[in-house]
Structure 1
Amino acid sequence: MTNTARRKSSMADVAKAAGVSEATVDRVLNGRGGVARDKEARVLEWARKLKLDRALGNVPARWLRVAIVMEHPSNPYYLNLKHGFELAQQSFESQRVICVVTYLDKFDPASVVQTIARATQKADALVVVTYEHPDISAAVRKVSLSMPVVTLASDLPGTGRIAYVGIDNRRAGRVAGELMGRFLGEPGGKVLVITGMHDFLGHEERENGFRSVLRRWFPRCDIVQTVESREDATRTERLTRDAFARFPDLRGIYNISVGDEGVGTALKGLGRSRSTVLVGHELSDVSRGLLIEGTLDAVIDQNATGEAVHSIELILRHYHREPGVALPQQIPVTVILRENLPPAD
């Protein structure tokens, strides 16, 4: 060997760079377990950086347990998320990842905090879909000190999460505003906004984007009220009926969250389904049917299944496990009308 030849890296080199013992490196590279998450990640990272002379792609790895905290899949968006996590677990089976879903039974801050704490007790990572509240943000910030956290659909900034996965919600709201303004046309008219929960940052951003476009480009479109559905279809039906009782000349409804079926039921019951512009979110069997019959005019979709898969991909990359795919972190805003409906599954 010449003096200029590069010496092959050894486990001792990896141990020194990662700040661990050679015994720890041996345990990680031979899949013997018993090594803390952060140390395992450092060992694998430095083994790759130093190009240790072994097939690191085949290194046995312990199972990664990813805690998923979200609402029950009783509405189409969360059902698609559930299917997405199931797909991710199947697709990344060789990376030894387990997706464990915990549903939120109650939505008050104390209950959400307790659910997050319970779900992450034996977890290696957290994917969370929830609203912004000081206590919830503090709980997520605490979790992020010991494991990677990904926020999904609605961000929790300042919590130490490694990524937010989802659409640009302000842009989605602006698109909804453009659609509403153009559908209502030159006369404009009164518009109702139905949000899911005011505390969801994503919902707030959608409403702000919607309002800004109407204010700038369609000043004859008058938002007369914003109401909160609490993500319940029965409640969206009642809120829609109440709005028409107060504003008989209502011409447009922007439903920021789930519950299009409730709005549709009210519109059909009142005989207003053809005379009212309805813009909603998330393509599902329900919204597909409403689009086809003409009750729903446009859907803004964000590919919930793809969001779920990408969140798990990011966690695998955090632990230096190559998932073999590279999905875009910023999910595109997709507008679906009756005439460009994708084929049903």
Structure 2
Amino acid sequence: MSVTRATLADIAREAGVSTATVDRVLNNRLGVRERTRDRVLSVAGRLGYLEGGRLVAEIGDMADVVELDFLVPGGTNTFLHLLASCLAEQERLRRDVRVRVHMIEGFNPDALAERLHGIEGTTRGVGLVGIDHPTVREAIRSLAVAGIPVLTLCSDISHVPRVSYVGIDNRAAGRVAGYLIGRFIRADRGKVALFAGSLSYRGHEEREMGFRHILEEEFRELAVVELREVRDDSERSYAEAKALLARHPDLAGIYNIGAGNRGIARALEEAGRAKSTVFVGHELTEHTRRFLLSGTMDAVIDQNPRVEAREAVDRLRRAVQGDERPFGPSVRIQTVFRENIPEA
């Protein structure tokens, strides 16, 4: 079966960029914005661009299609559903991988460990967003002993033989949130509250640590009065936020470490405190865009799921090939306000 050979000019015309930009993207060179890179790769994949028997957009042995499995928590977390979609999309954009995405119960370490053990003989590489728990760590070690590389996404896991972590620096993200809330409140004293999905996620724990540390260093006038774990559930976050606002009518700020922004926003709006309580959270989604525009949220600390998915698949594919070179920096933190919301 013959393969239609597109040209650089074909890709450039379809993507609306120059041929020089296409060349930089397809050969993985620096100097191209992430949104442009994603558009070029998408067009190149759709046109089936081949050169010398290889898909230049993602370099790899075309005869060796590698099966990769990604385990992502289910539930109402909009960002994680976006990430799962972006991971699945990589199979269409690339010709050297087959990607299977498993949506699992997010706060059940035993269920996650059981799924990891279950795919041990059917996969070449595993990526996961997982709880830092003994049964999960042991399952990862078992995969490593079997020669299957494991990569962590969004939240790292300590003391395991993983090949890479793909995600933002969560401690730095917590510090950014603390700095923003401290600057926005600008009061002699004030109360702030924290919401987390679960501190069993190392990423959530690191965000809390970063937040508390910068408050201790630069904003000692602010006191953390409560921390609530809501398991990234919107209804649970709504109930907890509603009760919190009733207990603390003078609450000055809220930092939501995980998901559940919809529930917190709803409680603030119902209490008539959407404009008087500073609210900072994570991940730019259709919901947080709306809250930024309405003024219910003051800032969103974002990580790009498309970049994360591409990096994860690429790093895991390279690890399967035996590439032991150290990986560079992971995903950048982006702070989004109402005035700089990027295109969807």
Same fold, TM exceeding 0.5? yes
For residues 16-31 of structure 1, the aligned pairs below 5 Å read none
After superposition, give the CA deviation of every residue in 1:51-92 in whole Å (9 maximum; x if it has no partner). xxxx79685523211111111264221122112112321222
Equivalent position of 2:243 in the other structure:
242
Equivalent position of 2:118 in the other structure:
118
Report the CA distance between 1:106 and its aligned residue: 6.1
Equivalent position of 1:340 in the other structure:
340
Equivalent residue in structure 1 for 2:90, among 67, 88, 91: 88
Distance 1:233 1:110 in 2: 24
Opposite residue 170 of structure 1, the aligned amino acid is R
Opposite residue 126 of structure 2, the aligned amino acid is L
Equivalent position of 1:78 in the other structure:
80
Report the CA distance between 1:260 and its aligned residue: 0.7
Report the CA distance between 1:187 and its aligned residue: 2.8
Answering whether residue 209 of structure 2 is matched by residue 208 of structure 1, we say yes
Q: Could you say if the C-alpha distance between residues 200 and 59 of structure 1 is closer, same or farther in structure 2, counting changes exceeding 3 Å?
A: closer
Distance 2:180 2:61 in 1: 52
Give the 3-state SS of the residue equivalent to 2:86 in structure 1: helix
For residues 303-318 of structure 1, the aligned pairs below 5 Å read 303-318=304-319
Equivalent residue in structure 2 for 1:69, among 64, 68, 71: 71
Give the 3-state SS of the residue equivalent to 2:102 in structure 1: strand
After superposition, give the CA deviation of every residue in 1:219-244 in whole Å (9 maximum; x if it has no partner). 11110011101110111111111111
After superposition, give the CA deviation of every residue in 1:253-298 in whole Å (9 maximum; x if it has no partner). 0000111110000001111101100000000000000000000000
After superposition, give the CA deviation of every residue in 1:1-32 in whole Å (9 maximum; x if it has no partner). xxxxxxxxxxxxxxxxxxxxxxxxxxxxxxxx
- Larger Rg over CA atoms: 1
After superposition, give the CA deviation of every residue in 1:120-140 in whole Å (9 maximum; x if it has no partner). 330110001011011111111
Q: Which stretch shows the higher mean deviation, 134-143 or 206-215?
A: 134-143
Structure 2 length as normaliser, TM-score? 0.79
Q: Could you say if the C-alpha distance between residues 59 and 234 of structure 1 is closer, same or farther in structure 2, counting changes exceeding 3 Å?
A: closer
Q: Could you say if the C-alpha distance between residues 60 and 305 of structure 1 is closer, same or farther in structure 2, counting changes exceeding 3 Å?
A: closer
Equivalent position of 1:52 in the other structure:
none
Answering whether residue 299 of structure 2 is matched by residue 298 of structure 1, we say yes
Aligned length: 285
Q: Could you say if the C-alpha distance between residues 336 and 106 of structure 1 is closer, same or farther in structure 2, counting changes exceeding 3 Å?
A: closer
Equivalent position of 1:218 in the other structure:
219
Q: Could you say if the C-alpha distance between residues 319 and 116 of structure 1 is closer, same or farther in structure 2, counting changes exceeding 3 Å?
A: closer
Say whether the 8 Å CA contact 2:153–2:312 is kept in structure 1: yes
For residues 252-263 of structure 1, the aligned pairs below 5 Å read 252-263=253-264
Q: Could you say if the C-alpha distance between residues 318 and 150 of structure 1 is closer, same or farther in structure 2, counting changes exceeding 3 Å?
A: same
Distance 1:337 1:260 in 2: 15
Distance 2:275 2:238 in 1: 17
Q: Could you say if the C-alpha distance between residues 82 and 60 of structure 1 is closer, same or farther in structure 2, counting changes exceeding 3 Å?
A: closer
Opposite residue 280 of structure 1, the aligned amino acid is G
Opposite residue 83 of structure 2, the aligned amino acid is L
Q: Which stretch shows the higher mean deviation, 125-134 or 138-147?
A: 138-147
Distance 1:280 1:120 in 2: 36
